[in-house]
Amino acid sequence: MPPTIKPLIVVAGIIRNSKGQILLGQRRPGTHLEGLWEFPGGKVEANETLEQALKRELEEELGIQVSTSQPLITVEHQYPEKKVLLYVLEVSNWLGEVQSLEQQVLQWVNPENLSKIKMPEADIPVVRLLQRI
């Protein structure tokens, strides 16, 4: 029996502006799936809750402090080289101005246009859900 591969646990935030557009960041050159667009977030570190990880990642990447977030969807996806367990939370309240602190290109996208953007396969179920709600 092959060994069980421990999934990479990742958290992402759905951040909407006043126009209802959703924030995406472009994966930097030299990273896994470089050039694709994704929801902001990152790896959950040991002894962190999902909410703590999301708050840390969004403050590091975007300079915002998350006040309120709710679970939206969980996606398990097997890439050829790794398994990802993606927890997505809807960010309903934050403090600060969204800015790129890690040289990542950012864009605001209307939900109906998300399916036209090149995104990681793990994000596709999230896109489908966002286009229904």
Task: Look at 33 and 83; give whichever has higher pLDDT.
Answer: 83
Mean pLDDT calculated for residue range 32-53? 92
Mean pLDDT calculated for residue range 37-59? 96
Q: What is the DSSP string of the chain?
A: -PPPPPPEEEEEEEEB-TTS-EEEEEPPTTSTTTT-EE-SEEEPPTT--HHHHHHHHHHHHH--EEEEEEEEEEEEEE-SS-EEEEEEEEEEEEES----SSS--EEEE-GGGGGGS---GGGHHHHHHHHH-
Domain 8-132 is in which class? Answer: alpha beta
Residue 3, pLDDT above cutoff 60: no
pLDDT band at 81 (very low <50, low <70, confident <90, very high): confident
Mean pLDDT calculated for residue range 65-87? 94
Residue 1, pLDDT above cutoff 70: no
Residue 2, pLDDT above cutoff 60: no
pLDDT at 4: 63
Q: What pTM value is reported for the model?
A: 0.90
pLDDT band at 62 (very low <50, low <70, confident <90, very high): very high
Residue 112, pLDDT above cutoff 70: yes
